[in-house]
Amino acid sequence: MQQADELGFPLSQTERAAQTVLLGTVLGMIRIFTAINVAGLGNQAVLAGGIAEALIITVAGLSVAIPSIMFYRYFRGRVDELVVYMEQQALKMVEILHGEREND
């Protein structure tokens, strides 16, 4: 089943990437604290694995989220421009049909 936001719209790729970033960071931190519990604070190699895991998943999520946001904003702006143009043309057509305007 597809996840949805509070309004019922499907989650975008950007939102999924953000969730992946958060999940990766949390899982890495859990691994770090588990390692501290088992081996203590003295073993830095054990801690490094959890930190590396958190950072790798964070980078992977951000590498998807950042371009997704850029493309989303570009296409949203383009759609907004097209909607405004269509509304202007519709108003011209209504004015022409009512005889309030000459054909341009």
Query: What are 7-48's pLDDT values in tens digits?
Result: 455 556 666 666 777 777 777 778 778 877 777 777 777 777
Closest CA to 40 of 50, 32, 51: 32
- In a domain, residue 102? The reply is no
Which range, 5-9, 48-52, 73-77, has the best average confidence (pLDDT)?
A: 73-77
- In a domain, residue 4? The reply is no
In this predicted structure, what is the pLDDT of residue 86? 97
Instruction: Please report which confidence band the pLDDT of residue 73 belongs to, taking 50, 70 and 90 as the band edges.
Output: confident
* Domain span holding position 29: 13-97
Closest CA to 33 of 55, 20, 51, 19: 51
- In a domain, residue 2? The reply is no
- In a domain, residue 36? The reply is yes
- In a domain, residue 63? The reply is yes
Give the distance from CA 47 to its chain's centroid: 30
- In a domain, residue 70? The reply is yes
**Comparison of pLDDT for 79 and 49, the residue scoring more:** 79
Domain count, the chain: 1
